[in-house]
Amino acid sequence: MKVTFVLAALLLCVVQAVAAGAPRRIVSTNLCADQYLIALADKDQIAALSEYARDPALSFYAREAQAYPTVRGNAEGILPLKPDLIVGSPSRGLQTRSLLKRFGLGILDIGADNSFADIVEHTRLIADAIGHPGRGAALIAKMQAQLAQIPALHAAAPPTAVYYQRQGFVTGPGTLMDEMMRRVGLSNMAIRFADGTLARVDLETIVSAQPDFIIFTNDRRHIRDWGAMLLNHPALAAVRSKRIYVPDNLTVCGGPSYPPATAALSRALHAN
């Protein structure tokens, strides 16, 4: 019993030491970091989320984000919050990041999630950085269990699909959407159109290719802006391909939204 007590006391000391060294004022600078922090951090650890965190059209945790302050991702907004850790993306705000580093602020850069392996890596990275490695492991296990429950089509010839986006962009191999499509049993037709992860494909190519499915984020039929005009073109409407709509707030980022996004794609596929 004495040995057990000593071990328990040592474990408590370790946990307290980790907690004591954990950042207490964390600022997120983008939607993807928002997801991870809401899922992994203590509420009082988060000084602010990104400016779009409460937007239900874009943010997976829009409802939960109502309980947190938000901030624009510039130095003027971030510095008064006196953060001890800033979590964001290395591809945005290079001048702002340089300025914040000159003030000695810690910055945890997270790149894009292009696969579930990336999501696992970033979950562990952020969980460790904020002092909650156990929560990171639990979240990974939860996401793995969710993905294992999602049914996939098992066809000799997988149906073809293309993820057609604003201004005619498609996503090819090496992207999260490509992995999602393969998980549910679809063949990504964009591989025929582009060598890279993202390419602009003209409408004529899509019409002539006649994929079995065209995937959109949300229902764009009632959107009337320049970016979405191509998606409302009569020629595309005449294509016999079946439509699948997956909400933007599930696909903007990876992270905890990835299993629900894959499940939504699977449900829409089986409904057709």
CA 98, 102, 107 angle in degrees (round to 5)? 65
| Residue written as token pair 């004591």 | 20
**Apex CA 55: angle with CA 53 and CA 59, to 5°?**
60
Distance of CA 70 to the CA centre of its chain: 18
| Topology match between the domains 22-146 and 160-271 | yes
Q: Please state the domain extents for the chain.
A: 22-146, 160-271
> By percentage, how much of the chain surpasses pLDDT 70?
81
Is the sign of the CA dihedral 264, 265, 266, 269 positive or negative?
positive
Report the pLDDT value the prediction gives residue 231, as an integer from 0 to 100: 75
CB atoms within 10 A of CB 144: 12
| pLDDT per position as a tens digit, 101-154 | 666 678 898 888 999 999 999 999 999 999 999 999 999 999 999 999 999 888
Amino acid at 272: N
The answer to whether 47 and 69 have CB atoms below 8 angstroms apart is yes
The topology (CATH level 3) of 22-146 is Rossmann fold (3.40.50)
**pLDDT at residue 19 in the model:** 46
What distance in Å separates the CA atoms of residue 32 and residue 39, rounded to the nearest whole number? 11
CATH of domain 160-271: 3.40.50.1980
Q: What is the pLDDT of residue 209?
A: 87
Does residue 206 carry a pLDDT above 60? Answer: yes
Least confident of 10-19, 87-96, 177-186, 253-262: 10-19
Q: Which of 20-24, 34-38, 234-238 has the lowest mean pLDDT?
A: 234-238
Evaluate whether 184 touches 236 at the Cβ level (below 8 Å): no
Rounded-to-integer distance, Cα 225 and Cα 132, Å: 43
Residue 70 CB partners (closer than 8 Å, separation 6+): 48, 49, 50, 51, 53, 54
Q: How many CB atoms lie within 10 A of CB 267?
A: 15
Residue 97 is predicted with a pLDDT of 65
* Rounded Cα distance, 61 and 260, in Å: 12
Question: Which residue spans within 166-230 are E strands per DSSP?
Answer: 169-171, 187-188, 198-200, 213-217
